[in-house]
Amino acid sequence: MQTRKGSIAISATTLSIPTPDGHSDAFAVFPDEGGTHPGVLLYPDAFGPRPVLWDMARELAGHGYYVLVPNVFYRHRPAPVFDLPERITAEDRPALFGQIMPLIEAHTAERALSDAGAYVGFLTAQSEVSAGPVATIGYCMGAVLAMRTATAHPDKVAAVAGFHPGALVTDQPDSAHRQIPNLTAQVHLGLAENDMTPEAITEISHAFDAAGVGYSCEIYPGTVHGFTMSDTDAYDPAGSKRHWERLLPLLGSALT
């Protein structure tokens, strides 16, 4: 399928990615101008792949990137995984998370890392993707998956960005922040006001410092968790705009 983003023609397609546990459905979008483009692996939030994520992928493709959006819940069913309302409100969330939490809990670090290898391998093998490093970005739980992917594949991932992240810092042995010593990518974390405690921010900042990577960890004022997602009542236009203002320069500097 071809659309246009500004003056750029965009091609979009659905894909099936082989994984150790089966096949993950995915959405890919890229400039339809020939040649190759830097690769971006975009992990969705807990509500899964859906039109708002596909629109965000198209926005990135309009800036010259090949964007792959996998369905990390493929073991359950293809995307869209959940029957979501047109706009997700606070009143909708309890019932939705009753469906979602079992899938999140089943998506262990072991599964995440197994899938990450499949996704990175698939992305870098596409004929439209340029040689060289890729980026991983994610929203909510996807930010944790983006970080796990970047720390597991430091030779392939040059930029990682997470917005309104899930639990990057926990007391568990497999906490995502415990793998940061392996990180080589440039990092940006865009936080809602209550996403991380001051202690967690300090802990992850120390881990980035020890790894010697360039990073920024910024609280976006006036935002709540989920502020980039325009199909939810958490959406904040100023916060979303700031997220693009941080993300695009990060990708531009790391993937050129």
Return d(Cα 190, Cα 240) in angstroms, integer.
10
Which phi and psi angles does 215 have, rounded to 5°?
Answer: -155, 160
Tokens 């859906």, residue located? 50
Q: Could you give the 3-state DSSP secondary structure of residue 84?
A: coil
CB-side neighbour CA atoms (13 Å) of 64? 11
Distance separating the N- and C-terminal Cα atoms of the chain: 27
The yes-or-no answer on residue 140 being catalytic is: yes
CB 116 within 8 A of CB 148: yes
Spot the catalytic one: 195, 217, 236, 243: 195
Spot the catalytic one: 63, 107, 140, 177: 140
Spot the catalytic one: 225, 231, 236, 243: 225
* 38: exposed, middle or buried (Cβ count in 10 Å: 0-12, 13-18, 19+): buried
Neighbours of 94 (CB within 10 A): 8
CA distances from 33 to 36, 65, 211 (A): 9, 12, 38
The yes-or-no answer on residue 225 being catalytic is: yes
The residues pairing with 42 across neighbouring beta strands, listed in sequence order, are 137
Catalytic residue IDs = 140, 195, 225
